[in-house]
Amino acid sequence: MLPQERLTARVVELCRADTRFDAVLRYGSFAQGSGDEHSDIEFWIFSEVEIDAAEWCARIAPITHHVRNEFGADVVFFHGLVRGEFHFAKDVAEVAKWPARSAAVDDMVVVDRRGALRTALESVPERPELPEAGELCGRFANWLILAHHVSARGEAFRAADAMAHVRRHLLWMARLSVGATDHWLTPSRLAEWDLPPDLVARLDVTTPAAAWRVGRALWLELGCAVPEPLFAELDDALS
């Protein structure tokens, strides 16, 4: 049994025994049945009572550190560098606003004392709605042009940040081009397995010029309308 599986079993035990919790769901790799020794354990816990996250998580197993991340989730590290992500919230109805749930409802529900969690999860599509290809290509161009300008100005760190968005959009474009949309919300997830090897090699770009060569080709492969003036300027600037 993996350490993550033992930790998950302990979380389930604690949650079902804690009457302060109205509902609890698990998500991520283990809910999807694809967890391995590198996976996190991930839960949403709904309670109208304020919970001391660090104290509660320490009941699972000894933790080496606790931090609240930039998205408001409580993250703890267990021995062996196992990462646990816990979202403590009050309103189960917020689940219904999710773009997708990515796993079967039965594999996600841990506690549902009032039946509201299952109802909310069943209203969420299993897969997210995909954007129009033309919209996606336009977003790629937006980040690419920003990366080009800040790079030309000499802002290397800002350029690298913009290029991360460029690469993310290239991954989405690539996934759409070959129909590999299973991991849409996190396009880098298992990309090396989901995409053809030659396409993976093409996507390994670090400069705006290289990104434009790949993005231009994908734009055409996707059959999107070509804004000729924009293509001409990008060809000239990034040749």
Q: What is the pLDDT of residue 239?
A: 85
Closest CA to 30 of 107, 85, 99, 122: 107
CATH architecture of 3-122: 2-Layer Sandwich (3.30)
Which residues, other chains included, contact 112 with Cβ-Cβ below 8 Å and sequence gap of 6+?
23, 118
Residue range(s) in the chain whose domain bears CATH number 3.30.460.10:
3-122
Tell the CATH superfamily of the 133-237 domain. Nucleotidyltransferases  domain 2 (1.20.120.330)
Residue range(s) in the chain whose domain bears CATH number 1.20.120.330:
133-237
First to last CA, the chain: 53
pTM for the model: 0.92
pLDDT in tens, the chain (239 residues): 999 999 999 999 999 999 999 999 999 999 999 999 999 999 999 999 999 999 999 999 999 999 999 999 999 999 999 999 999 999 999 999 999 998 999 999 999 999 999 999 999 999 999 999 999 999 999 999 999 999 999 999 999 999 999 999 999 999 999 999 999 999 999 999 999 999 999 999 999 999 999 999 999 999 999 999 999 999 999 98
